[in-house]
Structure 1
Amino acid sequence: MMAKNEFGQPVGEQIPEWVPAPLPSAQTLKGRYCTLERLNPDKHAEQLYAAYSNESDGRDWTYLPVGPWENFQTYFAWTQQAAASVDPRHYAVVDNSNGRALGTLALMRHDPANGVIEVGFVVFSGALKRTRIATEAHYLLMSYVFDTLGYRRYEWKCDSRNEPSMKAAHRLGFDYEGTFRQHVVYKGRNRDTAWFSIIDGDWPRGRAAFNDWLDPSNFDNRGQQRRPLSINR
C-alpha cells in the first residue's frame, strides 16, 4: 500500500533506521585477481603510464575530462593532484599476478547523508580491458560501498555518446535512469549525461552473480569464461 501523510498525499516510505554512511577511507581492497590500492604516484604512475602508452592512440581519453598526456611528466603531475584528492578518491587496479598497476577508477561525488556515491574516472589500459581483473575491480568497489560502508545508491554516469561505457554499465548490473541534456561542458564540448544506478536492494542479486562469474571454475585453461556475467532484474 502506498504511504500517505496526514494530508492524504502520497509520500516515500519511512526509513527510521537510516543513519548517514561513512566516507570512504579504505587504502586497499584485496581480491582474488587484483587489489585496489589508493593511488600513489611514486608507486603507480610509471606503471600506469607505461600501460597506457601501449595503446595505439588516445581514444580511451575522449570521454574523460583529462588526458591524453603528452609525456610522463605531465601525467605524473596529474597523479600527484589526483592522489591528494579525497573526492574523487582514486584507486589503482593492481594485477595480483605481477604487482603491476594497469588502470584506475575512483569513488566520487560522496553524499554520505543520503547514502549516495558514484564510480568514475574509470581508465583501464588495454591489458586490463575485458579481463576478469577488470570485472573484479568493479566488484571490489561495489562490495566496499554496499557491504562495508552501507550506502543506498551507487551511480555510474557517462557521456550518452560513449557506447562502450553504456554497455559496461549494463553488463555490471546498473539500471539506466535517463539522460540529462546539456549537463556538462568538457574539452570544449557539450555532454548529455546518461545516468545509471545500482541500489542496495539490487545488490544481493548482483553480489551473487559476481561471485559466480569470478569463481575460478568459470574459466577454462585458456582463461576464457564458460558463462557470461548475468545480473537479472
Structure 2
Amino acid sequence: MTAKLPEPVTLTGRHVRLEPLDRGHLADLWANVGPDPDVWRWIPFAEPTSEAELGSILDVRLGEVAAGTAVKFAVIDLTSGRAVGITGFYDFRAEDELVEIGGTWYARSVWRTPVNTASKLLLLTYAFEELGMGRVMWKTDALNDRSRNAIQRLGAQYEGTHRREKRRANGVWRDTAYFSMLRDEWPAARERLTGRLAAG
C-alpha cells in the first residue's frame, strides 16, 4: 500500500501542540526567539535583527508550503500557549514511503526541556502510523553537535556525511550529516520517547 503525503494538520501531545504555520505566529516567535546568535548559527538564513526580517524568513517557509514542497508547523508550548519554534516535513515521496523532518528551530528558553522530544514524537507517530511511511530522515550540519545529539537521542541512526552539500548562510560550504529511522525501528523508539516524557 502506498503511503500518504503529510498535510497541514494539528497534532497535540502532552507538552506541545503542532499547528500549521502561518503569519499569525510571527509575534510570538519574535518575542520568544528574537536575534539570538546561538539559535540562528546553523539556520540557512542570516540572523534576523527585527520582527520584519523574521517575517521574511517565515514567508520563505510559507512559500515552500504553497509550492507543495514542505508542510510547516508552529510549535506551541502548552504551558504558555505561545509559539516557541517551528518544525516540519520536507522531501516527502509517497511512492518511496519517505519523509524528512527538518527546518526545526526553537527558542533558547525551551532547550533541554521536553519540547523537542514531544514535538518529534508527534511527527514520528504521524509519519509512521498515520501516513504509513517506511523511512523518516533528518539532515543537519555536520558541525552542529547539539542537533546531531538531539537526533540520535530520538533513536535515529547515523548514515554518513555528504561533503560540501550546501552553503551556510555565511556562504561557507557545509558538510551534511544524514540520519534515519525505519518503520521496524519505530516501536522501540516510540517506547523510549514515551517513557522519557512520562519520566519528566
The answer to whether the superposition gives a TM-score over 0.5 is: yes
Q: Which residue of 2 aligns with 1:81?
A: 60
C-alpha contact 1:38 1:83 (8 A) present in aligned 2: no
1:32 aligns with 2:32: no
**1:60 CA displacement:** 1.8
What do residues 29-52 of structure 1 show as CA deviations (whole Å, max 9, x unaligned)? 01011100110212x110001111
In structure 2, what residue type is equivalent to 1:205?
Answer: A
Q: Counterpart of 2:75?
A: 93
Point out the structure with max Rg over C-alpha: 1
Alignment partner, residue 195 of structure 2: 212
Partners of 2:28 and 2:97 lie apart in 1 by 34
| 1:50 corresponds to 2:43 | no
Higher strand share goes to which structure?
Answer: 2
Aligned equivalents of 1:66, 1:168: Cα separation in 2 = 21
Residue in 1 aligned with 2:135? 153
- What is the CA–CA distance in structure 2 between the aligned matches of 1:81 and 1:141, rounded to whole Å? 22
Asked if 2 retains the 8 angstrom alpha-carbon contact of 1:103 and 1:128, the reply is no
The alignment-based identity, stated in percent, is 31
Q: Distance in 2 between matches of 1:134 and 1:74?
A: 25
Maintained 8 Å contact 1:83/1:90: yes
Q: Cα distance, 1:125 vs. partner?
A: 0.6
Unaligned segments of structure 2, at least 5 residues: none
**2:159 pairs with 1:180:** no
- Structure possessing the higher relative contact order (Cα contacts under 8 Å, 6 or more residues apart): 2
User: 1:97: how far off?
Assistant: 2.1
RMSD (Å) for aligned C-alpha atoms: 1.4
Q: Is the partner of 1:202 in helix, strand or coil? A: helix
TM-score (norm 1): 0.80
Kept in 2, the 8 Å contact 1:87–1:108? The answer is yes
Letter in structure 2 aligned against 1:62 = R
Name the counterpart of 1:227. Answer: none
- Normalised by the size of structure 2, how large is the TM-score? 0.92
